[in-house]
Chains A and B, each alone.
Chain A
Amino acid sequence: MPDMTSLAHPQQRSFNPYSENGGTILAIAGADFSVIAGDTRQSEGYSIQTRYAPKVFRLTDRAVLAVNGFAADGNMFVKKVKQRLEWYRHAHSKDMPLRAIARLIQTMLYARRFFPYYVYNILGGIEEDGTGAVYSFDPVGSYEREACRAAGAAQSLVQPFLDNQIYFKNQTPALGTSHPAHLPLPTVLSIVIDSFTSATERHIEVGDGLEMYVVLAKGRNLQGLEGVRGMQELTVTDDGERVFVVRRDLKKD
């Protein structure tokens, strides 16, 4: 005999298919390089699920994708983008150009307009003309090419700092001089490290580890990257763009 009293009341059930896993990502474009970075902490509420969950992924030798938001969606999305890039490689015997990857990501995101991947994407790499580029996306595919972008939990902490340090906002150049349009690689790396140490200091969802991917344009020298501690090359093809990763520790508290 079922409990009739419980049937007398209307009941409602719900399932929330989304979660938010913290962390922050950031990308900066140089004249002939691009830096794409993310912390490695993955959390849910006040619990840390893991101190090493990569959010930044090498797609090709000239493209790196950072995903932030709902980690399950992020991982699935990267998997599908990589699959599409492999199909492209098989069909055309070359890697997809960066701007094409950007457009591909838009269509893939918009395809899920009414059940979106709950992720903010930042794509960085080298364009066909050899310039460094950063593309940033919202969860449903609106995108824009920029010189720098922060996203995720500490976006509000990092983005105004980048406005100041990369775009030189609110700074007036000395008479007869002008601000550089692009900064050298060592400067950019310092700014990225400073941004993440700042974010780690003041945001509980940011910390543990930092992964900075560097993409160098074809035929360019290492631009000071050779001396960087913890650097590792990930390039697959010869005489094309080169990809490197630099790993650093962030505070774990």
Chain B
Amino acid sequence: METSFALTGKGYVIVAADTTAARSIVKMKVDEDKIKEISPHLLMAYSGEPGDTVQFAEFVERNIRLYQIRNLYPLRPSAAASWIRRSLADSLRSRSPYSVNLLVGGYDTATHEPKLYWIDYLGTQVDVPFGAHGYGSYFALSLLDRYHDPEASLEEGLATLKRCVDEVAKRLVVSPGRYKVKVVDKDGVREVEI
């Protein structure tokens, strides 16, 4: 089943999502990238109803880009997350709501702070030090309660992430195989291997 994690550390946010695209019991694809780089310092991991996910992620990506073109500066993470949340909240009470859960991680270049937002398909948004979606959250959140450190270096942060990934692989029946991991910090976004 789909799983995504994210955690903040000293000056960075790590976002990880599994890479499987499944239909029913069949794995259709094992290298799907479910983390979008929606602006120079913003990452968004998305999961949920197939079809809705990519459609909504691209809708967000283009609107964030449009803001940047019009105003010559990008939205800060808190503003972007609020806009995304409002899109989902409006969608919830529309004729065809999007079923998309998100982890929005960004680096605020104005305050030099890493920011992470947990957002679900209802439009519930909360500012968190770490978050997770999917069945993996039942394992990862307790591990992160124990091991998360907001002052941890990137290496330590990745080691904590590894614990989450390994635990899910060990204990979850329908665990995903591979994960894509991306980091956002003062230098922007990049992919890392774990």
Q: Is A in direct contact with B (CB under 8 Å) within the complex? A: no
